[in-house]
Chain A
Amino acid sequence: DAMVIQNPRYQVTQFGKPVTLSCSQTLNHNVMYWYQQKSSQAPKLLFHYYDKDFNNEADTPDNFQSRRPNTSFCFLDIRSPGLGDAAMYLCATSADSPLGYTFGSGTRLTVV
């Protein structure tokens, strides 16, 4: 089945230690997104890629970076995680036209 896969499901990292979360898709969608969701809050868009075109949200901290080496994969890099970065990180994809999102299962990040 075509899908969006996030790895790992759970990630524990140390304060200040770089961490990378990954997302892959078999839908061949042009657009890939990274959202951050903290407890009981709405998902917040960090950035998205349209093909290789990177679009950063104005309020996304510089600590968060992303890479999209090809259509199928997208990575979220947190350069120096702080305690406030503990959250669920959600990857989503959509086709060229706005036909809705498909989400992965998320990665729960804990910072110790």
Chain B
Amino acid sequence: KQEVTQIPAALSVPEGENLVLNCSFTDSAIYNLQWFRQDPGKGLTSLLLIQSSQREQTSGRLNASLDKSSGRSTLYIAASQPGDSATYLCAVGSGTYKYIFGTGTRLKVLA
């Protein structure tokens, strides 16, 4: 059974710092991995999608990497801003059409 873990559970950094969020999964047989952002009381906004054949994806200040063999993905945020404060969730596409979510990392960027 696929299990997804995100570390740390919460993170507080000063504005301008580069930071890395981690996601690990137990079964390397995945279709893809998607990173989401969730603001308090809101739905999920897709940030980056990495297919199983890819090693990384980039969008603006965000870069996500995937290492299937080690069961890990990282989300790198460059030059963090207060507007980046949110919960970041990774979801692993494991099994037909089904995503398994991690519990998220709550990020707070201090001005």
Q: How many residues of A contact B (CB 8 A)?
A: 25
Chain A-chain B contacts (Cβ-Cβ < 8 Å), number:
55
Could you tell me the distance between the alpha carbons of A87 and B67 in the complex, rounded to whole angstroms? 33
Residues of A contacting B66 with CB < 8 Å? none
Is the CB–CB distance between B43 and A45 below 8 Å? no
Given contacts A42-B89, A42-B103, A102-B46, 20 further A-B contacts (CB under 8 A): A6-B43, A33-B97, A43-B44, A43-B101, A44-B101, A45-B98, A48-B97, A88-B41, A88-B43, A90-B44, A98-B31, A98-B96, A99-B32, A100-B93, A101-B34, A101-B46, A101-B99, A103-B36, A105-B42, A106-B43
What 10 pairs across the A-B complex have the smallest Cβ distances? Answer: A100-B49, A42-B101, A105-B43, A106-B43, A103-B44, A98-B31, A42-B103, A103-B43, A43-B101, A98-B93
Chain B residues with CB under 8 Å of chain A are 4, 31-32, 34, 36, 41-46, 49, 89, 91, 93, 96-99, 101-104
